[in-house]
Chains A and B, each alone.
Chain A
């Protein structure tokens, strides 16, 4: 069987070859394509090719770019000539990934690859139409050389004032065909000239090996110490942020995120900067510890209560694990050019976020004990994953990942910590439980009305102190300050003055200073002299006797009224209903005024709905061998049956002389094959009303779901929508 098209090549592959392809490009089997033709179409589709390109390192990429410069078919030695000898090792890997394939007459590229690489791959223009004598370039006048110099490394386009009246240098180059006019004002440097000027190579620097990492050497002991500090801090931050939102739930933006003002509030409350606050908000969101409730309030979930009771290691893992795999990028929050990107909002997903993160971390763990210098480290990451789509964002993502890994304690002093290593290996990180400072259950109260917890507090004590004191300083220890305001807050939350005193006496290792005792009893004495409550309606009468009568009226018991003063009763039912009941009982009430209700929230709120974890985009799960084998079987079976079907169809077609009929995948496959061969085709094309007409066409190219072809009937170039093509057959 001859091998020209990509699908032919795939058909010719053995099971091992197909499995390797699936392994390298798991998106090809999700979902499993019905047959080889559809597999080929998918593998050649621009999104899939772009994904495959993302898995290449810089050297792979350069080899591929060099290959894209060549005319097809080409030989391995052509590629080597344009790059380095080492390309020999890379080409089989590119073939394995289906980014290059051998045909009968040499190597070829899948047809959408050039499109994905861009029109001017490696900054080289199109091939020259005219014959060039490249030796003449050396004789070029100075002015021409200057022009060339600017175009050598791309972009190959240059603009001139007016093509009819160029400068002497450009004129010479145009005459010699070393420049080709594109339009009135643009010229382009043909590919051959570019390569010649580049010394026969495609790239200035052929990066065969990754750059070497540079940075400061760090002491192992200090790394681990710093990492423990980071882990302790991140757990504390998460805890504090959640407690804060439990007390004062933030309102979600209409678009579903945490507003700038709320972000500032939480950052101010915790004494951290906003980017860090955004990170923590995202972290607890990903862990399912908060959610946006049905009433658009941002609240901790029930899982928060469970999380609080867990060991530090589990708590940490609950935060770190989702971070590793998420496609959400909290670093985007609050950047100058994207003011509206909110934490917890819908706009934070970025393709490649997780893969960049994993790559950064794995490079860190390959270079233990070195705090990488950011510039060389970025170039190292970019060698492994040369992001062509959004290099600026990738650079930022690298620095954000380093920053976030430090916040999480995956690194300490910029170097991978032992916790980070275990975490990346997927092991249990029990060491955290032993290495974190053990919690203390006491405080030291001083005469300046401060209390100091000389270590992380056990949760019960911390939560009471958080109510009756303001935190003044955070870190390994916590400093609380008591004031009238904070004591009142404690009383508001249902503690009595005595309870607070007993708690402090029990928890403090030092005697409670007398002024503090006075403060507490003073505030407690005054607290609650004024009473405020909620009620729906009231019944008021100048005559206390009538109120007494109402209070004792059996028929009104259903109203559940309370007498709060001799002349006033309140009722939790609506004023309207109360009026009706009173009227039915023979009283003559009238409406006095209508007031709205003032609702005060409870202290510690929980969401009513379940956590909705954000989805992960852009990442394809790596399939297991089992699923791959199953996929392979399914394709093979599908292939057999579709071949049978098409044979049957062909027989029936030739018997009936009807229009060609092919399945959509076959159509695409055939089209790409015949575009290469430049053959005329017979197609069936459906119009708006569904009637199918027969056209004879010369296909030119397939792009964006349409076929561009010359219609023999009209003699014009025309666009055919591929879904409307009912079938394709060669003439």
Chain B
């Protein structure tokens, strides 16, 4: 028994005691093969997954190293079964290889014929294969590179992909670091991605994921397709790229509902890509129109299904996924990893906060009581209506008014789900509202006014959940949300995490109706942030009215 910072559990989770003097060293040592699952205040949880171990193999770490690391830092004896399992899992990687062959094109090669025999008999794999060349080699249809990798992964025999990436059409891109400097973690993330070839980078909201994208482009020095959630985000990307790189206005095109420009660097929205014309996806050709050297998926946790399918077909292009919250309530995280690529970089939010790159934030849950009439209405409401009833209670309105008055000198966002509720709030507070049907132009004007301080308070719907950069917002008040969505809560907090010029901390209020499903949903919503180490404080609506904040 040593006195290490790590506890290896029999269910393959690793508990890291971060108050231990060796914790930083240990974190670095286990990061290549273990996936960070939760990072609350005292003990971080990592997990050993097959995918993580195979990625480590792909990055050149062998089982011996993993086992040595576990034993070295472990506080208690490491269960033997885990060590056996690690060795066993890692030895499965690389028995199959995808290679480019000058005669046959894409081929699947094995060092272990038994494995090849096993996989070619699998129902899902057989249709993807072509002619058998010899005992160890078989032809793969070039278009099925993504599909076969995915299926092999599911079978537990991941293929090592030596077929390489196409370089794409070269295009000179450099970072222009005149009045700013790339942050160390951004550089690490970009490098981690570049060495891995493809993959996902997970960084907190407000930590500058665009710069990681720009740095990746500077590595690739090739034409780039950037996919973003909406037009406002597309414009923000464009501005950011103009500011941070050597690219000029003519080199960056916007491909959205409004404009259809194709330039060396093209920024397209998910919406336009998935728009159907006469039953077919008319714009998916964009992937093929250009010899893209790099494809960037912003907010990859929102990747819509058609793009998923299409991404499987472009496995020879480098792909970078960017996100803050890779939790999907639909459980599709695995698909993201297998199609875009594995997680290449991940860092606890609190660590970035400690380095001062995102603003410290406090989270407050304000509990309000329903009025007697509302309680009765709630109790008799249809199940599908119940959340709306409790989430839009009148009491919330007065609480929001009070909170806005309390933070009169600060930049405030009021965020909600239900349009009627937002309209009411906008009226009561006397501030503009931005929702789905607000034209892009008007949105941009309002956001700009907010940035310059002309407006200090905005009511926004879920359109502002992502990618909207509002550096000086310090207060967010959430009145309702998409049920129990964890990533939405985190993204909304993310709106106020840009570091403030005066180093002020941000405050996130979540107004919740007591003793209703609103409260249950809130608990689920808060889980992601709680697991990132944000601790919620609960106060009563009466405290707000009495000014006890």
Q: Which residues of A contact B (CB under 8 A)?
A: 222, 225-226, 228-230, 232-233, 271, 406, 412-413, 435, 437, 444, 446-450, 452, 454-455, 473-477, 479, 510, 513-515, 518, 522, 526
Contacts and interface: CB of A to CB of B under 8 A. Distances in A.
B42 A437 contact: no
B535 A447 contact: yes
A407 to B, nearest CB: 9
A271 B40 contact: no
A446 B9 contact: no
A507 B515 CA distance: 29
A513 B9 contact: no
Nearest to A509: B42
B535 A515 contact: yes
A476 B75 contact: yes
Contact of B80 (A412, A473, A475): A412
A475 B365 contact: no
A271 B533 CA distance: 27
Interface in B106-142: none
Given A226-B80, A412-B80, A475 B43 contact: no
Nearest to B84: A413
A437 B1 contact: yes
Contacts, number: 113
A515 B365 contact: yes
A189 to B, nearest CB: 38
A229 B78 contact: yes
Given A475-B8, A477-B7, A444 B533 contact: no
* List of 8 A-B pairs having minimum Cβ-Cβ separation, nearest first: A475-B9, A447-B535, A229-B77, A476-B76, A448-B530, A446-B40, A225-B77, A475-B10
A232 B8 contact: no
Contact of A454 (B17, B80, B537): B17
A418 to B, nearest CB: 14
A476 B7 CA distance: 6
Interface residues of B, number: 36
B80 A514 contact: no
B538 interface: yes
B534 interface: yes
Given A225-B1, A479-B13, A510-B41, 18 more contacts: A230-B79, A412-B80, A413-B80, A413-B83, A437-B75, A437-B76, A444-B42, A444-B43, A447-B41, A447-B536, A448-B531, A450-B40, A455-B76, A473-B9, A474-B10, A475-B13, A477-B76, A515-B535
A228 B78 CA distance: 9
Given A271-B10, A447-B536, A452 B42 contact: yes
A233 B43 contact: no
Nearest to A221: B71
Interface string B520-549: 000000110011011111100000000000
7 contacts: A226-B77, A435-B1, A446-B43, A447-B533, A448-B527, A449-B530, A514-B536
Given A437-B1, A518-B538, A475 B79 contact: yes
A727 B11 CA distance: 72
A560 to B, nearest CB: 38
Label chain B's interface by main secondary structure: mixed
A410 B365 CA distance: 53
Contacts of A473: 9, 11, 13, 15, 45
Nearest to B43: A452
B43 A229 contact: no
Interface string B37-53: 01011110100000000
Contacts of A446: 40-43, 530
B169 to A, nearest CB: 47
Nearest to A510: B42
A436 to B, nearest CB: 9
Contacts of A271: 10-11
Contacts of B534: 447
A226 B531 CA distance: 31
Q: Which of A230, A435, A475, A477 has the most CB of B within 10 A?
A: A475
Contacts of B8: 475-476
Nearest to B19: A444
Contacts of A230: 79-80
Contacts of A413: 80, 83
A448 B79 contact: no
Contacts of A450: 38, 40
A501 to B, nearest CB: 15
A693 B13 CA distance: 83
A447 B17 CA distance: 15
B67 to A, nearest CB: 10
A412 B83 CA distance: 12
Contacts of B80: 226, 229-230, 406, 412-413
Q: Which of A412, A452, A473 has the most CB of B within 10 A?
A: A473
A475 B530 CA distance: 23
Contacts of B17: 454
